[in-house]
Amino acid sequence: MSIKALRDKKVALIAEAGVLTAKVADGSITDAEQARLSAIMDDRAAEGDKPAYVGELKRVNQAIASTERLMDEQRAMTPAPAENAETSTERTERTSPTVAAEPKKKFGSLGEQMVAIVNAGRRITVDDRLEWQAAAGMNEGGGQDGGYLIQQDFVSELMMRAYDRSDLLSRTRQLPVGPNSNGVKINALKDSSRANGTRFGGVQAFWTGEGQQKVGTTLQFRQMDLRLHKLTGLLYATDELLEDAVFLNSFIPDIFGDEFSFKIDDAIFEGNGAGMPLGFIKSPALVTVNPEGGQSADTVVVENIVKMWARLWLRSRKTAIWTINQQIEPQLMTMKIGNTPIYLPQGTIEGEPFARLLGRPIVPTEFNSALGDKGDVALIDLAQYLTIQKGGFKQDVSIHARFINDETTFRFVTRMDGQPIWDAPLTPFKGADTLSPFITLADRA
Summarised one tens digit per residue, pLDDT across range 152-198 is: 666 556 666 666 678 899 899 988 787 777 888 777 666 666 677 66
Is the predicted pLDDT of residue 410 greater than 90, yes or no? no
Q: Do the domain assignments include residue 14?
A: yes
Do 380 and 320 form a contact (C-beta atoms < 8 A)? yes
Q: Do the domain assignments include residue 24?
A: yes
Q: Do the domain assignments include residue 33?
A: yes
CB atoms under 10 Å from CB of 389, counted, come to 21
Specify the pLDDT at position 34: 85
Compute the average pLDDT of residues 321-337.
95
Q: Do the domain assignments include residue 25?
A: yes
Is the predicted pLDDT of residue 82 greater than 50, yes or no? no
- Nearest partner of 229 among 186, 159, 177, 283, judged by Cα: 177
Specify the pLDDT at position 155: 59
Compute the average pLDDT of residues 140-147.
41
Do 21 and 82 form a contact (C-beta atoms < 8 A)? no
Is the predicted pLDDT of residue 305 greater than 90, yes or no? yes
Q: Do the domain assignments include residue 133?
A: no
pTM over 0.75: no
Compute the average pLDDT of residues 226-244.
79
- Read off the pLDDT band of 362 (50, 70, 90): very high
Top-confidence range, 102-116, 173-187, 189-203, 299-313: 299-313
How do strand 356-357 and strand 343-344 relate by DSSP bridges? antiparallel
Do 387 and 173 form a contact (C-beta atoms < 8 A)? yes
Q: Do the domain assignments include residue 41?
A: yes
Specify the pLDDT at position 56: 86
**What whole-number distance in Å separates Cα of residue 341 and Cα of residue 440?**
21
- Read off the pLDDT band of 9 (50, 70, 90): confident
Residue 27 sits in which domain range?
Answer: 1-76
Strand, helix or coil for residue 281: helix
Compute the average pLDDT of residues 261-275.
94
Percent share of the chain, pLDDT over 90: 31
Q: Which residues pair with 410 in a beta bridge?
A: 235, 397
Helix pair angle (110-121, 245-270), 10° resolution: 100
As for how many domains the chain has, the answer is 1
Specify the pLDDT at position 202: 63
Longest Cα separation, the chain? 103
**What whole-number distance in Å separates Cα of residue 118 and Cα of residue 131?**
13
Specify the pLDDT at position 444: 93
Strand, helix or coil for residue 157: helix
